[in-house]
């Protein structure tokens, strides 16, 4: 049972058209929808977590992504698939209308609530231009989850004055996502300047000794700045979700 079905059921219960026992039975009856022999769509993810199940596109075929998205669009007002190549996006869009593809973020999504008021307070920062694809994954994820995102790109420590120019914007943030490869030093700098939570995203950008992001990951985990949390290498999506949840709590005053 998805969010729309649950709302309809609760309205029927309020009108006295069904009993609490019958309503409970219907809620428990369907929690997911099987799709072939390869997927089980979680229909109650929005109810539990506030956002529908997200499709991880890497490793799936275009046919699988198409069918999962088709079912998701039947049950939800918003939805997204991450790590989608431009070729796969084009193939899926040939079979489904109402989808938008953001190539930098590699996200294919639909949003029937795009006119809703979004919460301000999320800022996404990158050390370099090469970190932008992961930053865009984080930013678009947070936007689809109902937030307005400020982007500050290419302000790494090799030219620290660039970052300081944006200090007034950063100081107003409820949460800042910092995306950096190489040695990942930007996170400690930002963490030392701000009082809000910092989400660090190490990227696999860098020369050989960066070990595809391991050097940045370890540097961020060992940051001397307080208030810094770290997600996995290249996990822009995970950072975007955390930022969205933090900003929602900040805006609601919880």
pLDDT per residue, tens digit, the chain (254 aa), is 556 667 787 888 888 888 888 877 666 666 777 788 888 888 778 877 888 889 999 999 999 999 999 999 988 889 999 999 999 999 999 999 999 999 999 999 999 887 888 999 999 999 999 999 999 999 999 999 999 999 999 999 999 999 999 999 999 999 999 999 999 999 999 999 999 999 999 999 989 899 999 999 999 999 999 999 999 999 999 999 999 999 998 866 55
Dist CA 60 CA 163 (whole Å): 39
User: According to the model, what pLDDT value does residue 130 have?
Assistant: 96
Q: In the chain, what's the furthest Cα-to-Cα distance?
A: 67
**Contact by Cβ (8 Å): 135, 153:** yes
DSSP category for residue 95: H
**Contact by Cβ (8 Å): 216, 181:** yes
| CA distances from residue 63 to 14, 22, 85 in whole angstroms, order as listed | 41, 37, 14
CB-neighbour burial class of residue 58 (10 A; exposed 0-12, middle 13-18, buried 19+): exposed
User: According to the model, what pLDDT value does residue 46 have?
Assistant: 80
User: According to the model, what pLDDT value does residue 1 have?
Assistant: 54
* Number of Cβ within a 10 Å radius of residue 63: 13
Considering only the top CATH level, what class is 119-252?
alpha beta
């Amino acid at each position: 049972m998805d969010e729309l079905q649950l709302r309809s059921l609760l309205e029927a219960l309020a009108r006295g058209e069904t009993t609490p026992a019958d309503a409970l039975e219907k809620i428990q009856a369907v929690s997911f929808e099987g799709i072939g022999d390869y997927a089980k769509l979680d229909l109650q993810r929005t109810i539990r977590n506030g956002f529908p199940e997200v499709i991880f596109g890497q490793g799936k075929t275009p046919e699988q992504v198409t069918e999962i998205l088709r079912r998701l669009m039947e049950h939800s007002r918003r939805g997204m698939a991450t790590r989608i190549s431009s070729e796969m996006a084009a193939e899926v869009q040939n079979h489904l209308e109402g989808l938008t593809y953001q190539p930098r973020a590699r996200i294919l999504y639909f949003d029937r609530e795009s006119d809703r008021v979004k919460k301000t307070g999320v800022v996404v920062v990158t050390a370099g231009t090469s970190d932008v694809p992961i930053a865009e994954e984080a930013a678009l994820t947070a936007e689809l989850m109902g937030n307005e995102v400020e982007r500050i790109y290419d302000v790494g420590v090799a030219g620290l004055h660039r970052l300081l120019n944006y200090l007034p914007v950063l100081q107003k943030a409820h949460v800042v996502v910092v995306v950096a490869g190489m040695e990942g030093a930007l996170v400690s700098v930002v963490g030392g300047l701000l009082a809000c939570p910092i989400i660090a995203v190490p990227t696999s950008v860098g020369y050989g000794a960066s070990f595809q992001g391991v050097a940045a990951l370890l540097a961020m985990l060992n940051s001397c700045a307080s208030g810094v949390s770290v997600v996995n290498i290249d996990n822009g999506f995970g950072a975007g979700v955390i930022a969205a949840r933090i900003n929602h709590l900040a805006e609601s005053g919880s």
